[in-house]
Each structure stands twice: as structure tokens, then as C-alpha cells.
A and B are shown apart, each in its own frame.
Chain A
């Protein structure tokens, strides 16, 4: 089949672009869990907020690039404020408290977004430079998807370097391993937690803006996103940065190729992988806790 090579290349690029979006979500969730040991149920709502803030930024400034900067700042700032104002009071309680509070936040954010932006789905246009197509071996392919895949790779490298090379990265890794020890050594662990919660939410916010040209900004974004994100993090291992990357790639490739070859089972395939991982390695592929 002479058509097979272009098909393979475009499908792989499709999967990479999808993996990038999933990674923005999964990585933020896993960072937060690694440090704080809480499951942020509101992660999908932060993703949705990112899309809406992105819409408004494009609407006011006319620039998608500014939206890409504004959304993570606003969403991350809001996340950090939420941690400072509310979550901080709950440390020491058991996990249910966080589940309830973050789930409640999801509902509140959904309603507030409905009040501010209305019920109709909103269009976010990518900039003209990204709206074009390129021909990959005679198959038209959207530049925007290439941009998504590239931004996923760039952000993955940036976060990796940030965690490995910077002082805050070092503190984050240390806190995730032994928070008390870090505290005893004179670091303000509470501040690290706020920072991580903000960064995690900011990543979801970027994901939201980047996803908006593909799916529009709409109220259905949050519940959809949160399920995929949990699957990725469960596969990759709660708290593992590399795990979220692998989880995102795995889910994206399985979705893209699964839908092509077995359209009726593609969705089930994703859960099957999750199930297998849970049975074989209950803590996830790279998770620490089994």
C-alpha cells in the first residue's frame, strides 16, 4: 500500500498533538498529587477556565499569543489563591475533605463560567499563521496540530529541566519525597505547595487555551477532561512526571489507532489498558506507591 506511509505519519502526528493536550492536564494533576497527596477533582474545571479566559483574551486583544500567556497566569493565580485561601485549612484531614472541596469547586466554577460567559459554545480562532495546512506526502495536515505537538514537546522539556535544574524544582522533588525533612531544613513547605498548585492549574489553563480551537470553549469541557486525565495519571502512576508523559502518549496513540482499526472498541481499549496496569502494577507504570 503506497498510501500507508503518509497515513502512518499523519496518524502519528495526530496522536502526538492529542498527547500534548492530555499531557498538559495529566502533568499538572500528577505534580499536585506528588506534593500534596490530594486528588484535585477540579482539574477539568481549571482546564475549562483556561479556554474561557483564552477566549476573552483573544476577544479583547485579538492575539492568540497573548491568550496563551494570560490564561495560565489567570488560571494559575486563581489556583494558588484557592490553595492559600481554602485548601491550606484542610491539611491533616483525610482525603475525603479534599475530594469534596475540589468537587464543590468544580460545580461553582461551572456555574460562575455560565454566568459570565453564557451557555453557548464560544469560538477561539487560532492565529492566521497557524490556520494554514501543510502537505505531508500529499495529505493535507493542519499547521495547528503540528504546533500542538511541538508545544507539548517544548513544555515537557521545560518542566523536566525546571524540576531537575532549578532550586524550586529541587524543593518540589524534595517535598514530594519527605515534606517534614524539608520543613525541618528551614524551607517554607506551605509556599512550595501553593506554588505547585498554581503551576499545576496553570498547566491545565494552557491546555484549555490550546484545546479551544479544536473543540470550542464550552461548559462540557470540564467533565470530559477530568476523566481522561485520571486515566492518564492512573496509567502513568500518581505523582510521576515521566509517568504522566508516558500515560498521555499511550492513551493518545491507542485512541487514534484504535479508532481507526476498531472504532467500536477504541474507548474500551483505553480502559482495558488502565485495568491491566492496575492489575499488574497497582501504583501505575512509574508510580511509587503500590
Chain B
């Protein structure tokens, strides 16, 4: 039997070579594989790429310190193109074929909502890095889902708290004409009314609008002193570029739901003066953040962007949970994760057991010029306490 002789020869060779290492590499010492289905191409590809960099940077730093549970950590990323059906397929593949017991990623909330119901069957824990949809820790909550990042409602909440204390009195709102635009402006409108200020009007631009001149004229004529924007991607870049050309910012303060370095880079000077909520910005204070930013710069030559920071925080929380649990088994990891507290790049962040949302502060930033940077940079102008920013358990709205 040639097969047997071949096998034994290879086995002997292997055993001979491996002998000196047996002591250090105990049984089952293969790496901890974290599956990462995320959108690496398509409209959300840039966000997915940020998440992947954030995860890989975290894994590298963990491995440099000897790994977790004496095992190395490896990230196995796969492209979902931002499509929920593909996300399910890729996640299943990562769990069943690649043997991943943990998941990162899912760039879009629609993907995360599609995958969440499967987690129990797979006996796998999914740690979100950027998913904003309030339902994930609300009506669609599942026990194997954890959200270390700031959610969408929390992001808007920070703006609401800010406008209560700000001087603006009359508000206008411009949003993209689909669910996200209408929902966010709906919440914003309520908040304006609650704070006793005046909401002038709202207007919605079709996705893919290129000419914003008429919208700019309407905002200017409305007499509002601040305008809330719910725009993203190309539409956001087009609006900001044109608003700058019409000097809209001289008359109306622009508030935005998203401040990220990518769009600042795309519009340059036109971003200066913009005020917005921020999940993470490299200019946040604190020693942990300074250390993170310095290490990141050394690795990639640029400062980390929003989702790179958020993904790092997700990694840090998972790291503490695994150490606490002493295992990556879902049933042992879950209770440990529920009590994780870290003091890291965004300050103190604590996971809560009731809906697996990490309780954390809210931040407002203003984009300005800073020496040493070619592009304008966001700088912190207000911080709001975690208990005011995080909604009640399994809720997406706020009572007061």
C-alpha cells in the first residue's frame, strides 16, 4: 500500500521537525480566526476598507503582545459588496468552512440585520464595528450580537443635545430623499421642537442630485440661521462644494450628521466651518487615543478615520471579553462580554447586558484649519455624558 508508506514517511518527518516545539504549541493552538464579511467594493467599499484596516491593525497589535489565550489572532475578510444576501452567504461560509467562531464587520446595517437571526444557529458571536441601525439593539436584538460602536440614534442625539445649548434659533433641514434622510430629519425636527426652537422647513433631494443651486437658494431665503444636512457620498460632496461657491456658510451654519476625513478630503476648503456629530475623530483628547493615533500613523502614514477608530474600539472590547472568559466559545464569551469596561481611545466605554449596546459619550466636532495638516481637520467642540447619549435599554428614541 503505497498510500500508507507515503503517509508514515511524512508523519515521521513532521514529527521529527515538530518535536522541539511541542511544549510551546499545545493541542488546539491554532490561531483565533475572526471572520469579517464586509463591503470591500460597491458604494460602501470605502467604509468596509476602513473597517478591515482597523481590524487588521488591532489584530497585529494583539499578536505583538503574544496574542489572546496564547493564540494568534487572524482576520479573514470577505467582500459582501454591501448586499445583505451576499453577507449571509459569506458569513455562513466563514463560520462553516473557515471555522470562524467570531465575526466582525457587516458594513451596512441591512447586512447586519440579515445576519443577526442566524447567529444562534451558528453559535457565533458577532461584534459590530460600525452598524448604526437602532433596531439591532432594539426590536431586532439577538443575544449573540454586541455593539461596541456609537449607534445612529446616539449620533443624532449628540446633535440634539448640542443644539439645545447653541445660539441658533431657526432651523432648516436638507436630506437625501430616502428612508435615512426622512428618518433622521424626523428625529431632528422633534428635537428642535423639544428645545423650544423654530423649525422652518425641510426639503429632500433625489439621490444622485448634481446641481444644488436651487436648494442653496431656498436655504438662503428661508431666514434660518442653521441648516441640518443628511447627505452622504457624492451628494454630500456636491452640496458642500457648491455651498462654498455660493458662500452659504457666511449666512447659515451647516450642521451635519456625518463628519469623516474622506469627505473632508474630497471637498477641502468647503468643509471648513462644518459642525457635526462624530463617532470618532483622531483629534479626540486622552493618552490612549494619542498613543493609538501615533502607532497608526507609523503604520499607515496617515491619521485614522472614523471607522478605523470605531473598529479598533470593537477589537479592544472583544479582547477584554475573551481574556475575561478565557474562551471564545459563545456561551462563555457572552456573559463575560456583557460586563466589559474599557478606558480607551474614546474614553470610558461600558457594555451593558440588557441590549448589548456599549454605553459611551457623544461628541460634537467643528471642521477647521490646523497647522501641519493639508486638509482641514475636525476638532472637538462639545462632549455629552454617556447616560444622556445612550438610549434606554432596547430603545431607539429618547423621552426628554
| Contact of B234 (CB < 8 Å), options: A121, A142, A257, A260 | A121
Q: Which of A178-226 contact B (CB under 8 A)?
A: 211, 213-216, 218, 220-221, 223-224
Most buried by A among B211, B217, B218, B246: B211
Q: Which of A1-42 contact B (CB under 8 A)?
A: 3, 7, 10-11, 14, 17-18
In the complex, the answer to whether A220 meets B214 with C-beta atoms within 8 Å is no
With CB as the reference atom, state the residue of chain B lying closest to A125.
B268
B203 proximity list for chain A (CB < 8 A)? 263
A272 proximity list for chain B (CB < 8 A)? none
* Docked pose: A125 CA to B269 CA in angstroms: 10
**Which 3 pairs show the lowest CB-CB distances between chains A and B?**
A121-B266, A142-B245, A14-B213
| Contact (A144, B245) CB under 8 Å given A119-B46, A256-B213 | yes
A218 proximity list for chain B (CB < 8 A)? 233-234, 237, 266
- B267 within 8 Å of A (CB atoms): yes
Most buried by A among B208, B210, B217: B210
- B384 within 8 Å of A (CB atoms): no
SS class, residues of chain A in contact with chain B: helix
* Docked pose: A121 CA to B211 CA in angstroms: 17
Q: How far is the CB of B178 from chain A (nearest CB, A)?
A: 13
| Contact of B213 (CB < 8 Å), options: A18, A123, A140, A213 | A18
- B204 within 8 Å of A (CB atoms): yes
Could you give, for residues 108-150 of chain A, a 1 whenever the CB lies within 8 Å of some chain B CB and a 0 otherwise?
0000000000011111010000010100000011101100000
Spell out B's residues near A (CB within 8 Å). 43, 45-46, 49, 203-204, 206, 208, 210-211, 213-215, 217-218, 221, 233-234, 237-238, 241-242, 245-247, 262-263, 265-268
In the complex, the answer to whether A123 meets B268 with C-beta atoms within 8 Å is yes
In the complex, the answer to whether B218 meets A215 with C-beta atoms within 8 Å is no
Q: How far is the CB of A252 from chain B (nearest CB, A)?
A: 8
With CB as the reference atom, state the residue of chain B lying closest to A17.
B213
Interface size class on chain A is 35 or more
Q: How far is the CB of A23 from chain B (nearest CB, A)?
A: 14
* Docked pose: A11 CA to B234 CA in angstroms: 23
Spell out A's residues near B (CB within 8 Å). 3, 7, 10-11, 14, 17-18, 119-123, 125, 131, 133, 140-142, 144-145, 211, 213-216, 218, 220-221, 223-224, 255-257, 259-260, 263-264, 266-267
| Contact of A216 (CB < 8 Å), options: B208, B213, B237 | B237
In the complex, the answer to whether B234 meets A10 with C-beta atoms within 8 Å is no
* Docked pose: A17 CA to B217 CA in angstroms: 15
In the complex, the answer to whether B245 meets A14 with C-beta atoms within 8 Å is no
* Docked pose: A224 CA to B247 CA in angstroms: 26
* Docked pose: A140 CA to B213 CA in angstroms: 12
Q: How far is the CB of B79 from chain A (nearest CB, A)?
A: 13
* Docked pose: A270 CA to B17 CA in angstroms: 74
With CB as the reference atom, state the residue of chain A lying closest to B262.
A120
A142 proximity list for chain B (CB < 8 A)? 245-246
| Contact of B233 (CB < 8 Å), options: A18, A125, A220, A266 | A220
B268 proximity list for chain A (CB < 8 A)? 123, 125
In the complex, the answer to whether A216 meets B242 with C-beta atoms within 8 Å is no
In the complex, the answer to whether A123 meets B211 with C-beta atoms within 8 Å is no
| Contact (A14, B247) CB under 8 Å given A120-B266, A213-B241 | no
| Contact of B247 (CB < 8 Å), options: A140, A257, A263 | A140
B266 proximity list for chain A (CB < 8 A)? 120-123, 216, 218
A267 proximity list for chain B (CB < 8 A)? 206
* Given pairs A11-B217, A216-B267, A218-B233, 13 additional interface contacts (CB within 8 A): A14-B214, A14-B217, A119-B45, A121-B234, A121-B237, A123-B268, A215-B241, A220-B208, A220-B234, A255-B214, A259-B214, A260-B214, A260-B218
In the complex, the answer to whether B214 meets A256 with C-beta atoms within 8 Å is yes
